[in-house]
A and B are shown apart, each in its own frame.
Chain A
């Protein structure tokens, strides 16, 4: 079993659920509680784990997470205790697409955005990402691979190979590639210009 914990991270709607689905299809053990059910925003499921939100209070479960993967939003990465080795697959995506998708989701949830408009939210996310990238680089127990969602859609085989090389494991590449469903690529900017 791998002596490290794998984490899929990134901003919401950056493709973290897609990466979890790819890893599951490749044969990797995933940690999810299925509390947040699949819906119109994530028809294939969220792959979330509620206890990551409480990691600051209880990290005891991490000892059983070695060799497995779970999903954790980038803002929560600061809570990772330094006494484990982590491999983080950090998802990136075109910011306009991500925001368009988040705005739809906020509307469906009847929630207000965090900033007054997309331009301000983009600026806030870019500052957040700059800080978290810097923090990740400074953590000696963390290895990171940045994977672009748009690149996965365009060339799933190439990106799957990168992931398998990074995890240095015998995961099934065929399963990983077949988990990519381009029909879910619904939030292109042009589709959200309304």
Chain B
């Protein structure tokens, strides 16, 4: 398991809330947050490249 440093105040806030948010552990919260952010970035990248393709084909302005 890799280790990542995060701000101590942020860690304290995360420790306080993870159970209330429905996570079984702090690790689960962190994994979910990182996964969600990556998925969002990948989706945005896909939409940009699809838009470029559609523009080249003349289907969008």
- Residues of chain A touching chain B, judged by Cβ–Cβ distance below 8 Å, are 12, 36, 53, 73, 75-76, 102, 105-106, 109, 111-115, 120-121, 123-125, 127-128, 131
Within the complex, which residue of A120, A121, A128 is in contact with B47, where a contact is CB–CB below 8 Å? A128
Main secondary structure of the interface of A (DSSP, over half): helix
Q: Is B30 at the interface (CB under 8 A from chain A)? A: no
Which parts of B12-61 form the interface with A (CB within 8 Å)? 42-43, 45-47, 49-61
Q: A113 — which chain B residues lie within 8 A by C-beta? A: 52-53, 56
Main secondary structure of the interface of B (DSSP, over half): helix
Q: Could you say which interface size class chain B belongs to?
A: 10 to 19
The answer to whether B46 and A124 touch across the interface, beta carbons within 8 angstroms, is yes
A114 and B60 contact, Cβ closer than 8 Å, known pairs A124-B45, A127-B42, A127-B43:
no
Within the complex, which residue of A111, A112, A114 is in contact with B50, where a contact is CB–CB below 8 Å? A114
**Which chain B residue has the least Cβ–Cβ distance from A116?**
B49
A124 and B49 contact, Cβ closer than 8 Å, known pairs A53-B60, A73-B59:
yes
Contacts A12-B54, A106-B57 aside, 16 further interface pairs with beta carbons under 8 A come to A53-B60, A73-B54, A105-B57, A109-B58, A111-B55, A112-B56, A114-B52, A114-B53, A114-B55, A114-B56, A124-B46, A124-B50, A124-B53, A127-B43, A127-B46, A131-B47
**Which chain A residue has the least Cβ–Cβ distance from B56?**
A111
The answer to whether B58 and A75 touch across the interface, beta carbons within 8 angstroms, is no
The 10 residue pairs across chains A and B that have the minimum distance between CB atoms? A114-B53, A111-B56, A114-B52, A127-B46, A124-B46, A114-B49, A124-B49, A128-B50, A73-B59, A115-B49
